[in-house]
Amino acid sequence: MNWKDISVLITGATGSFGKRCVRTLINHYGPKRVIVFSRDELKQHEMHTSGFQSDSLRYYIADVRDVDRLRTAMVGVDVVIHAAALKQVPACEYNPIEAVQTNVNGAKNVIEAALDCGVKRIVALSTDKAVSPINLYGATKLVAEKLLIQANSYSGAGAVRFSCVRYGNVVGSRGSVIPLFLEQSKTGRISITDPRMTRFWITLDQGVKFVLDSVERMHGGEVFVPKIPSTSVMDLARAIGPECQVDEIGIRSGEKLHECLMSEDESRAALDMGAFYVIQPMHKWWVAENWSGGRQVPSGFRYSSDTNALWLTPDQVLALVEPRIWAAV
Instruction: Write down the catalytic residue from 87, 129, 141, 256.
Output: 129
Residue 60 to residue 178: CA distance in whole angstroms: 31
CB distance 70 to 122 below 8 Å: no
Q: Which of 16, 26, 89 lies closest to 52, judged by CA?
A: 26
Torsion of CA 175, 200, 238, 191, to 10 degrees: 40
Q: Please enumerate in sequence order all residues whose Cβ is within 8 A of that of 167, keeping only pairs 6 or more positions apart, or say none.
A: 127, 128, 200, 202, 207, 210, 225, 226, 228, 261
Strand partners, 166: 126
Burial of 289 (0-12, 13-18, 19+ CB in 10 A): exposed
Residue 255 to residue 77: CA distance in whole angstroms: 38
Q: Which of 86, 60, 48 lies closest to 8, judged by CA?
A: 60
Q: What share of the chain is helix, strand, coil (3-state, %, to 5)?
A: 40, 20, 40
Clarify whether 129 is annotated catalytic.
Answer: yes
Please state, in angstroms and as integers, the Cα–Cα distance from residue 323 to each residue in 15, 172, 313, 317, 327, following that order: 20, 10, 17, 11, 6
Amino acid at residue number 25: L
CB distance 325 to 240 below 8 Å: yes
Catalytic residues: 129
